[in-house]
């Protein structure tokens, strides 16, 4: 590979990492979290927090926060290093996990919306709350169907609401 090719590949990797950062920022995750995820997706091996910080020019605190956020969304896992307090991090999935996690959070929101039904003071407010609830229920149902197709599931899974 020529020096020009290597530079082009580095530029493409950097553009990918930035694009993933922008995409996850649209999902209300931090842009740094998205950049860390993009970086991890391109690696075949887990990376230390120090390596991630150095490669992406992020602070130790920023990398640590990003790693925790990715783990909480099911997009990464941490791997302890024997005999050390240091952790390595690796990506564990794609947007399928992000969508599944988003659906779980949306289901929690739907439960909250449903709990407000008895609190509406009139028919107009009740109808509006019901319409909003149905919209989010439809969103989750459509997303679950898409995920089932993606996974190749033919069985009927019951969604928890």
Task: Specify the pLDDT at position 157.
Answer: 44
pLDDT of the residue at 133: 96
**CA angle 3-21-37, nearest 5°?**
80
Give the pTM: 0.65
Q: What are the residues facing 76 on neighbouring strands?
A: 91
The pLDDT value given to residue 26? 84
DSSP conformation class of 119: G
Query: What does the pLDDT read at residue 144?
Result: 87
pLDDT number for residue 104: 84
CB within 8 Å of 80: residues ≥ 6 apart: 87
Per DSSP, what are the bridge partners of residue 110?
A: none
Task: State the DSSP code for 157.
Answer: P
Determine the length of the chain: 161
The rounded distance, in Å, linking the Cα atoms of 57 and 14 is 12
Q: How many CA atoms lie within 13 A of 33 on its CB side?
A: 21
Q: What is the pLDDT of residue 102?
A: 78
Residue segments in the chain with a per-residue pLDDT below the cut of 70:
93-95, 153-161
């Amino acid at each position: 590979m020529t020096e020009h090719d290597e530079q082009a590949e580095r530029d493409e990797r950097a553009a990918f990492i930035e694009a993933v950062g922008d995409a996850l920022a649209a999902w209300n995750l931090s842009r740094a979290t998205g950049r860390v995820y993009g970086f991890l997706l391109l690696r075949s091996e887990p990376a230390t927090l120090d390596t991630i910080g150095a490669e992406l020019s992020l602070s130790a605190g920023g990398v640590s926060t990003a790693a925790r956020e990715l783990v909480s969304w099911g997009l990464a896992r941490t791997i302890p290093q024997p005999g050390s307090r240091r952790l390595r991090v690796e990506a564990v999935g794609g947007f399928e996990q992000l969508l599944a996690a988003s659906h779980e959070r949306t289901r929690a929101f739907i439960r909250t919306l449903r709990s407000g039904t008895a609190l509406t003071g009139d028919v107009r407010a009740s109808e509006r709350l019901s319409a909003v609830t149905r919209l989010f229920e439809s969103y989750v149902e459509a997303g679950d169907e898409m995920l089932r197709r993606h996974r190749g599931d033919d069985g009927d899974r019951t969604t928890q609401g």
